[in-house]
Structure 1
Amino acid sequence: MQPAPRRRTRGALLSAAAVAVSALTLSACSGGGTSGGGGDTNFVTNTGGISTVAKGERKPVNTIAGETLEGEKLDVADLKGKIVVLNVWGSWCGPCRAEAPHFAKVSEETEAKGVAFVGINTRDPNKGPALAFEEDYGVRYPSLYDPTGKLIVTGFPKGNLNPQAIPSTIVLDREGKVAARSLMALDETKLRKMIDPLIAEK
């Protein structure tokens, strides 16, 4: 009578292990990463750690929508027509703090060129530290509140350039398709290398 319970227990443990591995991957606060999506991504990784996708090979993101840290509703799909910079961050993450002033500066300087910045705040169990982070670093663009990492897991198609570390930055072209990704903290120069070619696209 015991084999069946043992099988259920083993299945539950394997399931829990898979969830734990997924959570660990997403919560790993690091300054870089090397892994890509699947084998059909058709992306090119530059020496600077930024992966890009040729215009004809890009894929749209899934639904990335929810409530911001300020309690407003936000749907990235409503930003179609703009270049969208999605930055995955947490207030507890050292590299996120290092890159935040650069993101705040570039977001203001590129707004008039049709660039919209949206943060995805994750692994902060409550909004207080995240809101303080935004104030400390002068971040004026909105951030979706994603404490469990659900948007990170479901918002990006498989076999594409998806966020795999914190911080991660994904840049969408004007059609809402993934054009570039970085898995490391960015300074102003590297961030602009992801954005400027898309501003120049016709």
Structure 2
Amino acid sequence: MTGIARRVLAGLAVASLALLAGCAGGTNGSNDTVDQGYQSGDGSTKTWPANDRGDPVALDGTDYEGKVVDLAGSRGGVVVLNTWYAACPPCRKEAPDLVALATGYAGKGVRFVGINGTDAAGAAQAFERTFKVPYPTIEDADGRAIAALQGAVPVQAVPTTVVLDRDGRVAARILGLADRSTLRALVDDVLAEPMPTSPGS
């Protein structure tokens, strides 16, 4: 085997490992919170204490059926945002857990919303049918939803899962594949926080 062939194979191996951790990554973590540099999509978790959270996330769009999705109407409840696309291996792996959690929390004031900036409607809706996804996904071909989210929390890998508190502020983030028990614990912690003084304001 030539030296060039070895280098090509090594490069393919590194790319495969990156796909297993997260389907896409960024290179600039300069906007992250204190002591948090760039992180690969390795399932790492970051939480923000209530008094260190920024402004509410203002995020809206339409789903793949053309219905409006606006987070402003979810104030007073907890929101879980998940970025994904159909051909992403970790997105497919975590989908059953997200579906189970969304179903289990449906009556507890927790709303799940997907964000997909890659897929055309056919691919996205096939994914949603395959995994029986019960929550809407914002079709984000123009990148507006991700830009709004990036303004509050760095999103450096797909999938990324973000938990918003009852005021719509970023409380936690998982970069890469979301572990079911970890996400449940994050959601439970935010649910246990006091209700805001003016829900929906």
- Fold match, TM over 0.5? yes
3-state DSSP of counterpart to 2:107: helix
Q: 1:40 and 1:96, CA in 2 relative to 1: closer, same or farther beyond 3 A? A: closer
Alpha carbons of 1:86 and 1:40: their partners in 2 closer, same or farther (altered >3 Å)?
Answer: closer
Report deviation, 1:177.
Answer: 0.2
What is the distance in 2 between the residues matched to 1:142 and 1:105?
A: 15
Asked if 2 retains the 8 angstrom alpha-carbon contact of 1:88 and 1:121, the reply is yes
Taking the aligned partners of 1:199 and 1:44, their CA distance within structure 2 comes to 25
User: Which residue is 1:136 aligned to?
Assistant: 130
1:69 to 48, 64, 70: 64
Partner of residue 21 from structure 2, selected from 21, 31, 35: 31
Partner-residue secondary structure (3-state), 2:139 = strand
TM-score in terms of structure 2 length: 0.76
- Between Structure 1 and Structure 2, the one with more helix by share is 1
Shift in Å, 1:148: 3.8
Rate the CA distance shift 1:42–1:175 in 2: closer, same or farther, 3 A. farther
Per the alignment, residue 193 of structure 2 pairs with 201
Residue 63 of structure 1 deviates from its aligned partner by 2.6
| C-alpha distance in 2 between matches for 1:96 and 1:106 | 15
Cross-structure match for 1:4: none
The structural deviation recorded for 1:34 is 9.8
- RMSD value, Cα: 2.6
Q: 1:113 — aligned with what? A: 108
In the TM superposition, residue 39 of structure 1 has moved relative to its aligned partner by 6.5
The residue number in structure 1 matching 2:8 is: none
Segments of structure 2 that go 5 or more residues without pairing to the other structure are 1-17, 195-201
The amino acid across from 1:154 in the alignment is: A
Tell me if 1:179 matches 2:192: no
Deviation at residue 162 of structure 1 after TM alignment:
2.4
Amino acid in structure 1 at the alignment position of 2:177: A
Q: Alignment partner for residue 87 of structure 1, among 55, 66, 82?
A: 82
Shift of 1:191: 1.4
Q: Structure 1's 104 and 91: CA in aligned 2 closer, same or farther, altered over 3 A?
A: same
Equivalent residue number for residue 14 of structure 2: none
Shift in CA distance, 131/165, structure 1 to aligned 2, threshold 3 Å: same
| Structure 1 length-normalised TM | 0.75
Unaligned runs of 5+ in 1: 1-27
| Residues 170, 182 of structure 1: 8 Å contact kept | yes
Deviations 1:107-144 (A, max 9, x none): 010121111000001211x1101001011001110110
**By how many angstroms is 1:44 displaced?**
7.5
